[in-house]
Amino acid sequence: MKRIIFGTAVICLLQISCKKDNTNPAPKPPEPTDQSFSTSFESMDSLTSQGWVFTNLSDDPGEEWSIESVTPFGGQSAFDGSKFLFSNYAATNDPGSSSGIISNWAISPKLYFQNGDKISFYTLSNGSNDGYGDRLQLRLNTFNTSDSIGESSSDVGNFTTPLIDINPLYKISPPDDYPTTWTKYEATITGLNEPDSGRFAIRYFVQLNGGANGDELAIDKLEFTSANH
């Protein structure tokens, strides 16, 4: 009798243990905090201190992104504030060569993305007026928080998700050319299985003879708006 009672007690303990495990599931990960921010690109020092990274991967790289108050060719002033982010054909020192590709990157600070987050900005170019087909991309990296974009002008690193591609056919006439007045573009992040860390990037990208087909472009009032803002 003693052995039977002892065996029964063990079975009961195992059943109780299993029941407790089923009633205590793993806790859900915390909801992302509101990381919304806005920048009018007033100071390069301020941007880098916030975590922005600027990398020129153009063939024979020339001038980096800069902060300007008036576009040299179009004479456009800022949309918001007094200055804006600027790049032009001089991003490559080899504008007349078929290999002189422009690939100039402005990479955001580290963020925690979730579905429903929005990225918006205003941009313009003088390319259509001068006969040059500028192009701009907005790309997303959800693999990690690295700012690595590869080593050549054709590389994108982990920024493999395209969100916006302005004038991919390098047109110089309406309605599909790069806008010559301040125009707003917006993308919404979707398709994530769960919130994830990463960065987004703006890429001035001109493949067709690089500087020979690029002109100038400006970006202003960029906003990242969290889904739970």
Distance in angstroms (rounded) separating the CA atoms of residues 47 and 220: 13
CATH code, domain carrying 166:
2.60.120.200
Q: Would you state the torsion angle of the CA atoms of residues 82, 85, 86, 91, taken in this order, to the nearest 10 degrees? A: 150
Q: Check whether 162 has a pLDDT greater than 90.
A: yes
Residue 2 lies in a domain: no
Residue type at 134 in one-letter notation: D
39 Cβ contact list (under 8 Å, min separation 6): 47, 50, 221, 222, 223
Q: Compute the distance between CA of residue 184 and CA of residue 197 in angstroms, rounded to an integer.
A: 26
In contact, 227 and 104? CB cutoff 8 Å: no
Give the span between the Cα atoms of 225 and 199, in whole angstroms.
Answer: 14
Q: How many residues does the chain have?
A: 229
Q: Tell me which amino acid residue 103 is.
A: S
Residue 7 included in any domain:
no
Whether 85 and 46 have beta carbons less than 8 Å apart is answered as: no
Token match 């299985």: residue?
Answer: 193
Q: How far apart are CA 139 and CA 102, in angstroms?
A: 16
* Domain count across the chain: 1
Q: Is the residue at 6 inside a domain?
A: no
Residues 6+ apart with CB under 8 A from 219: 41, 84, 85, 86, 106, 121, 122, 123, 136, 202
Q: Does some domain include residue 189?
A: yes
- The 3 state secondary structure assigned to 55-79 is EECCCCECCCCEEECECCCCCCECC
- Whether residue 9 lies inside any domain: the answer is no
Question: What's the domain range around 69?
Answer: 38-225
Within a domain: 210 = yes
pTM (two decimals): 0.85
pLDDT in tens, 10-57: 333 334 344 444 555 555 556 778 999 999 999 999 999 999 999 999
Q: Which of 44-53, 78-87, 89-98 has the lowest mean pLDDT?
A: 89-98
Instruction: Report the pLDDT averaged over residues 55-74.
Output: 95
Kindly report, residue by residue over 193-217, the tens digit of the pLDDT.
999 999 999 999 998 776 678 899 9
21 within some domain: no
Computed over its alpha carbons, how large is the radius of gyration of the chain? 25
d(CA 117, CA 111): 11
Dihedral sign from CA coordinates of 189, 141, 65, 59: negative
Q: Is residue 157 part of a domain?
A: yes
What is the pLDDT, as a whole number, of residue 193? 94
